[in-house]
Amino acid sequence: MPETARQIADDLRARIESGDLQPGDRLPGEPSLVRTYGVAKMTANQALKILVTEGLAYARPGSGTYVREFRPIRRVANDRLSKARWASGHSIWAADVDRRPLATDVQVYEAEAPHQIGRLLNLEPGAPVLVRSRKYAVEDRPVQIATSYLPADLVRGTAITEPNPGPGGIYARLAELGAEPVNFAEELRARMPSEEERAALNLAAGTPVLEICRTAFTEDERPVEVNQMLLDAGSYVLEYRLSS
């Protein structure tokens, strides 16, 4: 009787979705599945692996396979409108408030603009950019990697070239330079991570990433920053507020 691994996975999935198995609960182990379904150990292994790749469970070698939990961080893209009375407190996904990611591993250096980035920033090919890359973590768990690119000619000699750019962050410093970002364009896509990305974000199998490319523009429509972000999709809910 083929199709056995999928069958077993279906059974377990049903038990998860029905609430019979709660987040954090331990699933029946491989030996248990071998006994109750009369299959080979590897088939039991594959059944569990299906749930892991679906993001419904995670395996802890030597211990067991467990139902995964989903407690996302809320990222509100739009700051000014966020105080609007509409859409306050009305969210479909529960999210922990005040679990704010903290920046770590800040690295700042100058480099030649990558092709795509230079194009977004309206720079000549090969022009220098300031690169600010950092990782964000919550409770020691990495949740996001971000890399900002700014025209080197614009920011050289300012606090933006420091790992800690001072109060208000780099946007405050840009404002002091007469280049305050006021408009933003975000491009967003979801996909499975590469092996390096999996390692860098310490992702469980079956977790997609959200890739965001945000370009910041001044009042006179000049692009002054490109920020490329990679988010652990299992840790985030994004929120956008739009008018008109």
Partner DNA sequence: TAGTGGTCTAGACCACTGG
Partner DNA sequence: CAGTGGTCTAGACCACTAT
Are the CB atoms for 52 and 204 separated by under 8 Å?
yes
> Among 31, 166, 168, 169, which residue sits at the site for DNA (rule: CB under 7 A)?
31
> Among 11, 13, 29, 175, which residue sits at the site for DNA (rule: CB under 7 A)?
29
Measured CA to CA in angstroms, residue 49 lies from 28, 137, 204, 242 at distances of 13, 27, 12, 40
Q: What minimum distance in Å lies between the beta carbon of 12 and DNA?
A: 11
Q: What minimum distance in Å lies between the beta carbon of 71 and DNA?
A: 20
> Among 59, 137, 192, 200, which residue sits at the site for its own copies (rule: CB under 8 A)?
192
3-class state of residue 205 by DSSP: coil
Site string for DNA, 77-116 (x = CB under 7 A): ----------------------------------------
> Among 103, 108, 137, 237, which residue sits at the site for its own copies (rule: CB under 8 A)?
237
Q: What minimum distance in Å lies between the beta carbon of 210 and its own copies?
A: 5
59 binds, among DNA, its own copies, none (CB under 5 to 8 A by kind): DNA
Q: 86 or 100, CB closer to its own copies?
A: 86
100 binds, among its own copies, DNA, none (CB under 5 to 8 A by kind): none
CA angle 111, 166, 81 (to 5 degrees): 95
Task: Verify binding: residue 98, its own copies, rule CB under 8 A.
Answer: no
233 binds, among its own copies, DNA, none (CB under 5 to 8 A by kind): its own copies
CA angle 216, 220, 223 (to 5 degrees): 30
> Among 63, 85, 140, 157, which residue sits at the site for its own copies (rule: CB under 8 A)?
85
Task: Verify binding: residue 122, DNA, rule CB under 7 A.
Answer: no
Measured CA to CA in angstroms, residue 236 lies from 23, 93, 233 at distances of 18, 10, 5
Task: Verify binding: residue 179, its own copies, rule CB under 8 A.
Answer: no
Q: Which residues, in sequence order, are bridge partners of residue 148?
A: 132, 227
29 binds, among DNA, its own copies, none (CB under 5 to 8 A by kind): DNA
Task: Verify binding: residue 64, its own copies, rule CB under 8 A.
Answer: no
157 burial class (0-12, 13-18, 19+ CB within 10 angstroms)? exposed
> Among 29, 55, 64, 128, which residue sits at the site for its own copies (rule: CB under 8 A)?
55
b (16+ CB within 10 A) / e for 104-116 = eeeebeeeebeee
Cα separation, 218 vs 225, in Å, equals: 10
Task: Identify the residue whose tokens are 């969210």.
Answer: 91
DSSP secondary structure string for all residues of 57-111: EEEETTTEEEE----PEEEE--SSGGG-STTSS--SS--BTT---EEEEEEEEEE
Interface residues with DNA (CB under 7 A) are: 2-7, 27, 29-32, 38-43, 45-46, 48-49, 52, 59-65
